Amino acid sequence: MSEGFIELDNATLCYARSETPAVVDISLTVPSGGSVALVGPSGCGKSSVLRLIAGLETATGGRVTVGGAAPGASRGAVGVAFQKSTMLDWRTVLDNVLLPLEVVSGPTGFRARRAEYRQRALALLERLGLGEYAHRYPWEMSGGMQQRASLCRALIHEPDLLLLDEPFAALDAFTREDLWGLVQSIWRERRPTTVLVTHDLREAVYLADTVYVFSKGPGRIVHREDIALPRPRTVEGTFDADFVEYVQRLRGHIVEVRETVETRNTEEPAHG
Amino acid sequence: MADWMLNRRVLPWLVTLGAFLMWEGVVRTFQIKTFILPAPSLVATTLVAQWEPILQHSLQTLMTTLVGLALAIGFGVLLGLAVGASEKIYAGLYPLMVAFNSIPKVALVPILVIWFGIGTVPAILTAFLISFFPIVVNIATGLATVEPELNDLMRSLGANRLTVLRKVGLPRTLPYFFAALKVAVTLAFVGSVISETVAANAGVGYMMMVAGSRFEVPLVFAGLVVVGAMGIVLYQAFEWLERRLTFWAVRG
């Protein structure tokens, strides 16, 4: 595949109930197995781009393709994790993680391979440090643990596309850094094409090959930064001069975006 | 004994016993006449002495109530799913349902009698009509309040609407369903007994009506006690089921 796995070509999204579009003229390409991060002020439409790629919304203008087809066309090709872990409280952690396999292989297909799938889920839970929680319920775990389980659920069906919508935003700094390391190592192993939406510039630089900076909504891409840091990246490395320089540069772009907005729109303070 | 054991097992009996004792005391102290307010001891002896007809009428009432409730569950769940799943159905149907629920069901009994005659059918239908509304409302609320992220998750996996309903909608709605059921079961008794009081030839309501017209007031009160007891038993049964099936919603 010489072309990008994800291709957005002047994509615009305007929600049915809103007059102003959420995002305008988004063009970006993510190569197969690549990792990009979308950053920008709150309400800039980063998540809307993610929804376009996931096939949850259809572009009202321009074109979006994933793997050469319309997004969401092939079943089970996407793994998603949100800021809220959105665990199903009535299922054990293991059964939560098995959910995508149930949906993707259908009832009969799932029953036929149940033992194999369970093994796979248990191994993945073990890998993310949740081995002993497999048979507990999500609400018995801390937020960080739930987010780990949510990552397991996003990865269990080995999707080609991994979409992360601020999955670590509600976690404490140390847990967050642990999970960066985990996501990076799994990404390096399986190479799902990854799109990360985040407020955290260190997180973006740590995890992504390319970072896109969005303007305040309606969102446009105002800057693209290729991160030429060697992998694997480490938490210690985030304090190195070249890493900090990337973060500073991205920060500069976001500050600029926020200032142009706040002169225009003073009643809603931007944060992030 | 642990505190919760005391609360759950002993307190209900103590309070009930205390209430009966107070009632007995009031009747004896003020020498209230039996045809105005019989003492609970007299109600108890009546229950024992006339256990055969009381049992027969109680079983009839239990049957009409349970059949009515079953209809309400079946119909209420289906309608609740429709109302909760579709904004169009919600918008179109809700005002009509609210209007219908505001009608006192006792006013419908004569109409039911014209259609179906005196007897079991009006009692079943009254129990059904009075108890289905809370089920509809709760099922609809449960479905409508599913977190949007859960729907997004399922849709991103390529799940169709039926799968989303089965894997997320229904289990998520279960606590709401049980909340409704506990209201519905007590309402269903109200419905069946009202209907029996107005137009029937069997059931506790009918028994109380006849006993009242003969000034057999202790028997009237025996009927009330029996209905109350059946209500408690069914309520407890549903609560037991609820604890087993929706423990995850209570979280300890």
A73: closest CA of chain B, how far (Å): 8
Distance CA B51, CA B215 (A): 18
Residue A266, pLDDT > 70, answer no
B98 belongs to a structural domain: yes
Question: Of the candidates A74, A103, A137, which has its C-beta nearest B154's C-beta?
Answer: A103
pLDDT digit string, tens, across residues B127-156 = 999 999 999 999 999 999 999 999 999 999
Q: How many domains does chain B have?
A: 1
Q: How many domains does chain A have?
A: 2
Structural domain for A129, as ranges: 87-158
DSSP code, position A215: P
Quote the pTM value: 0.84
Determine the distance from the C-alpha atom of residue A188 to the mean position of all C-alpha atoms in its chain, rounded to a whole number: 15
Is A127 in the same domain as A14? no
Is A163 in the same domain as A249? yes
Residue A108, pLDDT > 50, answer yes
- Per DSSP, the residues of A240-256 read SHHHHHHHHHHHHHHHH
Q: A88 and chain B: CB distance < 8 Å anywhere?
A: yes
pLDDT digit string, tens, across residues A3-55 = 789 999 999 999 888 888 899 999 999 999 999 999 988 888 889 999 999 99
Is A213 in the same domain as A183? yes
ipTM, 2 dp: 0.86
Give the residue-averaged pLDDT of B106-113: 93
- Residue B112 CB contacts under 8 Å (≥ 6 apart), including other chains: B121, B122, B125, B126, B195
Distance CA B135, CA B132 (A): 5
Domain of B90, CATH number, reads 1.10.3720.10
Give the residue-averaged pLDDT of A71-77: 80
Instruction: Look at residue B50 in the predicted model and tell me its pLDDT.
Output: 95
pLDDT digit string, tens, across residues A42-59 = 888 889 999 999 999 999
Residues of chain A in contact with residue B250, where contact means CB-CB under 8 angstroms, are none
A222: closest CA of chain B, how far (Å): 28
% of chain A with per-residue pLDDT over 70: 94
Is A91 in the same domain as A211? no
Is A39 in the same domain as A98? no
Is A135 in the same domain as A247? no
Residues of chain B in contact with residue A86, where contact means CB-CB under 8 angstroms, are 147, 149-150, 153
Instruction: Look at residue A256 in the predicted model and tell me its pLDDT.
Output: 87
Instruction: Look at residue A175 in the predicted model and tell me its pLDDT.
Output: 87
Beta bridge partners of A113: none
Is A248 in the same domain as A228? yes
- Output the average pLDDT for chain A: 89
Q: Which of B217, B227, B221, B155 is nearest to B191 (CA)?
A: B227
Question: Of the candidates B158, B167, B246, which has its C-beta nearest A99's C-beta?
Answer: B167
Q: A50 and chain B: CB distance < 8 Å anywhere?
A: no
Query: How is residue B105 written in tokens?
Result: 């069901």
